[in-house]
């Protein structure tokens, strides 16, 4: 088949243009994939089911989701008590499948409905995210709370201030200003969130160095050196409660404390990874190096 000189030139130009477009697209894709400043958030809750999460309810073995306490509906993880006759101190927690050490956790929650019959007064509009939890497999059948650091979520009662993103310490202590802090709970300086409005809490966790609770870009509470110690936990195996042991990593769980609550987002930014700037997967926001993960 014969082509005119003009047609051959057209084909050549078309080829060059197409190659340039494809090359540009590939370059952009590669640049985006290797962008060291692009934060890679991980959705721990997929909005569809409880995959990767395991419940542990006081009085029941790990994995027994008594009364369908934890469930997913309308894209939200819900905690409810329709099948409870009395709450009867059946405190529950649902654990993500793997531990973390240095990370930022974002949780968006709201309280709904009425407290379960028999729930204690302090547990009204009360829940939380438990950080640095010991392995849930170590929990006793009749253990009420995991040994952990709790970022406590409280809803307003419509009658005065009631802060959220507080600190509570089941089986743990922390340090503040270089001194051991052994009081069980410590209020943040957040505002009060009444009603069923959504609240977004950001939790910055740096191993056993320090933790920050953040709302609307403001640090509302900070503390250091999380460690095992103190009380406010029962039914545990004494062998795993090694008082004085620093907590540098652990599991994450969400609470069931007798008041219905919904979670629409649970996402995590891991801050451990490749910190060699020459690697393809280097991230500028990592704060702890694990260069065994570097790819070149």
pLDDT tens-place string over residues 182-235? 999 999 999 999 999 999 999 999 999 999 999 999 999 999 999 999 999 999
Residue 223 confidence (pLDDT): 98
pLDDT of 27 reads 43
pLDDT tens-digit readout, 225-267: 999 999 999 999 999 999 999 999 999 999 999 999 999 999 9
Q: How many C-beta atoms lie closer than 10 Å to residue 146's C-beta?
A: 28
Q: What is the 3-state secondary structure (H, E, C) of 90-138?
A: CCEEEEECCCECEEEEEEEEEECCCCCCCCCHHHCCEEEEEEEECCHHH
DSSP codes of every residue in 12-26: HHHHHHHHHHHHHHH
Tell me the pTM.
Answer: 0.88
Q: Which of 272, 177, 262, 289 has its CA nearest to residue 223?
A: 177
Pick the CATH number of 42-272 from 3.40.720.10, 2.60.120.560, 2.60.120.380, 2.60.40.420: 2.60.120.560
Q: In what order do the strands lie in the sheet with 149-154?
A: 53-57, 92-96, 251-256, 126-133, 149-154, 166-168, 185-186
Average pLDDT for 67-78: 98
On average, the pLDDT of the chain sits at: 93
Domain borders along the chain are 1-33, 42-272
The SS3 assignment for 74 reads coil
């Amino acid at each position: 088949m014969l082509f005119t000189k003009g047609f051959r030139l057209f084909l050549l130009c078309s080829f060059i243009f197409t190659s340039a477009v494809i090359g540009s697209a590939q370059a952009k894709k590669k640049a985006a994939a290797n962008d060291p400043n692009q934060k890679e958030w991980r959705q721990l809750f997929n909005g569809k089911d409880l995959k990767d999460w395991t419940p542990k309810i006081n009085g029941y073995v790990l994995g027994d989701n008594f009364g369908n306490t934890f469930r997913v509906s309308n894209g939200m993880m819900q905690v409810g008590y329709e099948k409870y006759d009395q709450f009867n101190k059946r405190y529950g927690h649902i654990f993500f499948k793997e531990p973390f050490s240095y990370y930022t956790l974002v949780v968006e929650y709201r309280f709904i409905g009425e407290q379960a019959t028999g729930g204690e007064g302090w547990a009204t509009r009360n829940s939380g995210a438990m950080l640095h939890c010991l392995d849930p497999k170590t929990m006793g059948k009749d253990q009420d709370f995991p040994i952990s650091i709790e970022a406590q979520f409280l809803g307003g009662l419509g009658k005065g201030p009631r802060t959220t993103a507080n600190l509570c310490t089941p089986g743990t202590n922390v340090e503040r200003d270089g001194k051991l802090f052994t009081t069980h709970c410590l209020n943040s300086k957040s505002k009060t969130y009444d009603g069923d409005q959504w609240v977004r809490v950001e939790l910055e966790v740096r191993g056993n160095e320090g933790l920050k609770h953040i709302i609307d870009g403001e640090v509302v509470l900070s503390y250091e050196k999380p460690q095992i110690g103190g009380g406010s936990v029962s039914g545990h195996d004494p062998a795993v409660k090694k008082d004085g042991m620093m907590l540098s990593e652990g599991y994450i769980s969400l609470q069931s404390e007798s008041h219905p609550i919904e979670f629409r987002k649970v996402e995590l930014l891991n801050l451990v990874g490749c910190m060699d700037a020459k690697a393809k997967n280097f991230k500028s926001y990592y704060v702890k190096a694990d260069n065994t993960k570097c790819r070149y």
